Structures are given as structure tokens and as C-alpha cells.
């Protein structure tokens, strides 16, 4: 479903070239529940942005559901992203002038269909923000903003969820509540879930842990317990 072969990503900062990914080869199948761990700067967000079709590799190939993504136009890429992929950004990326409810409804308006307001309200209630729906981002705490970003990614029921440190701003109890949602989506609805996390407790919820170091995969371990 997600297939990377020798993916390289080079950034340029002034005259310096930063090799953020130095040859990633990886397969992720439908219904997998994967975490990506690694130290700060090891390339996790860069890898997520490529898998989420928000950025393109410098070299190497990336196929999504059998299609070579490099052959898709930006429009086709945006369409695949909008339909298939829910993305929780490391910096949340909320729109500053919209309330939590409006932010979470937004992906649904692109899809059309009924009951958008009700689905958005449910998604916010599921992450414990039922009483914060009309708050704008600057009227929300850090962990509340993160949960709005999670609700927004989940509300359209995408087939793949990419979450970049989705519990980074949350305390232990709220983290456990959010992880229960992801586990249910994966086990019950068969959603493919890919996390970046630096918290070992969060990685332990997933079936498979991929470790990055300096832009390379150094280990890829499947949990053996059922």
C-alpha cells in the first residue's frame, strides 16, 4: 500500500545541503499499526511528509496504493491526500481565525455529504473537547489544540492516518484516551495508522516500531505478542 524504495531527501539551507533522508526502503500494508521513533532531527517528520504526499523525494520511488506518486500531478496528489489521508501535524497547523468546530468541519465540506456538523461535534467530543467547540486556537491550551488537530484528521474517516507526535502535548491520562481511539480505529475499522513518537509508552501500543537515525532506518521490529 505504501512502498518506498531508496528514498533520499536533500534540503538546501543557504550553500549547505542537509541530507534529511539518506535512502529509505520501506513497505507498509493496509491495516498496519506502525510507530516511527528516533532522536530529534533524525528525519521522522521529513519521512511523514513524503508518505503523506505533502513533499516529494529528491531521489528514489514512492508508490501509494500501487501508483507511482512521482507521476502524479500536484492536483492528483492533493486529491489523493484529501480523500485518503488524515494528517496530524507536529505543529498542529490550526487556522487561527476558526473555532475548533469550524476547523474540524472543514475537511468534510470538501467531501460533501450530510451531517457534517454532527460528525465534527462527535469527533471533538471523542477527544474530550465537547465544551471547547467554539474556542479559537488562541483560546485553547496546547494539548487542546493538539486534540483539535487529531479530531480534524480523523473526522473524514480516511483510510490512512499519519500522526506526527500526536500526544506530545498531552498528559498521561489524555494520552491513553487518545491512544484508545487510534487502537480502535486500527483494530475495528482497519485504518492504517502511522505515528511518529518519541515516547516509548506510545510506541508500545503499535505492532511495529521503525527506528530512524540520521535519515536511515536502523531497525524495523514487529511486536510478537498478539
Ligand X SMILES: Nc1ncnc2c1ncn2[C@@H]1O[C@H](COP(=O)(O)OP(=O)(O)OP(=O)(O)O)[C@@H](O)[C@H]1O
Q: How far is the CB of 14 from a second copy (least distance, A)?
A: 6
Site for a second copy contains 38 (CB under 8 A):
yes
Residues 48-87, interacting with ligand X (CB under 6 A): none
Size of the site for ligand X (CB under 6 A): 23
Q: Which residue is nearest to ligand X (CB)?
A: 143
Q: Is 38 exposed, middle or buried (0-12, 13-18, 19+ CB in 10 A)?
A: buried
Question: Whole-angstrom Cα distance, residue 154 to residue 94?
Answer: 15
Nearer to a second copy, 32 or 165 (CB): 165
Name the strand (E) or helix (H) holding 182. Answer: helix 172-187
Site for ligand X contains 152 (CB under 6 A):
no
Question: Whole-angstrom Cα distance, residue 7 to residue 9?
Answer: 7
Looking at residue 223, what DSSP letter applies?
-
Q: How far is the CB of 76 from a second copy (least distance, A)?
A: 26
CA distances from 3 to 50, 61, 66, 89 (A): 11, 8, 8, 22
Site for ligand X contains 144 (CB under 6 A):
yes
Site for ligand X contains 89 (CB under 6 A):
no
Residue 19 CB coordination number (10 Å): 15
Nearer to a second copy, 172 or 219 (CB): 172
Per CB under 6 A, the segment of 12-20, 25-33, 60-68, 110-118 that binds ligand X is 12-20
Nearer to a second copy, 99 or 192 (CB): 99
Nearer to ligand X, 65 or 218 (CB): 218
Angle of the 142-154 helix axis to the 172-187 helix axis, nearest 10: 10
Residues 93-132, interacting with a second copy (CB under 8 A): none
**Which residues in this chain contact Mg ion in the complex, by CB under 5 A?**
45, 90, 141-142
* Closest alpha carbon to 93 in 160, 164, 44: 164
Among 6, 29, 30, 39, binds a second copy (CB under 8 A): 39
DSSP codes of every residue in 207-222 = SEEEEEETTEEEEEEE
Size of the site for a second copy (CB under 8 A): 34
User: Long-range contacts made by residues 108-114, C-beta under 8 angstroms, separation at least 24?
Assistant: 108/155, 108/156, 110/82, 111/82, 111/83, 111/156
Binding site residues, ligand X, CB under 6 A: 11, 13, 18, 20, 38, 40-46, 90, 132, 135, 138-144, 169
Amino acid at each position: 500500500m505504501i512502498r518506498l524504495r531508496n528514498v533520499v531527501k536533500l534540503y538546501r539551507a543557504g550553500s549547505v545541503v542537509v541530507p534529511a533522508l539518506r535512502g529509505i526502503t520501506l513497505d507498509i500494508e493496509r491495516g498496519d499499526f506502525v510507530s516511527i521513533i528516533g532522536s530529534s532531527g533524525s528525519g521522522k517528520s521529513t519521512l511523514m511528509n513524503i508518505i503523506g504526499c505533502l513533499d516529494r523525494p529528491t531521489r528514489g520511488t514512492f508508490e501509494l496504493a500501487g501508483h507511482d506518486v512521482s507521476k502524479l500531478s500536484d492536483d492528483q496528489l492533493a486529491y489523493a491526500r484529501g480523500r485518503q489521508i488524515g494528517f496530524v501535524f507536529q505543529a498542529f497547523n490550526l487556522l487561527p481565525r476558526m473555532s475548533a468546530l469550524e476547523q474540524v468541519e472543514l475537511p468534510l465540506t470538501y467531501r460533501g455529504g450530510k451531517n457534517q456538523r454532527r460528525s465534527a461535534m462527535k469527533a471533538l467530543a471523542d477527544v474530550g473537547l465537547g465544551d471547547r467547540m467554539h474556542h479559537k486556537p488562541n483560546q485553547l491550551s496546547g494539548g487542546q489544540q493538539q486534540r483539535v488537530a487529531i479530531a480534524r484528521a480523523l473526522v473524514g474517516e480516511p483510510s490512512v492516518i499519519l500522526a506526527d507526535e500526536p500526544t506530545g502535548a498531552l498528559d498521561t491520562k489524555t494520552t491513553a484516551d487518545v491512544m484508545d481511539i487510534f487502537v480502535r480505529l486500527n483494530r475495528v475499522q482497519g485504518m492504517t495508522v502511522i505515528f511518529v513518537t518519541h515516547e516509548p509508552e506510545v510506541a508500545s501500543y503499535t505492532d511495529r516500531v521503525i527506528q530512524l537515525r540520521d535519515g536511515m532506518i536502523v531497525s524495523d521490529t514487529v511486536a510478537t505478542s498478539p
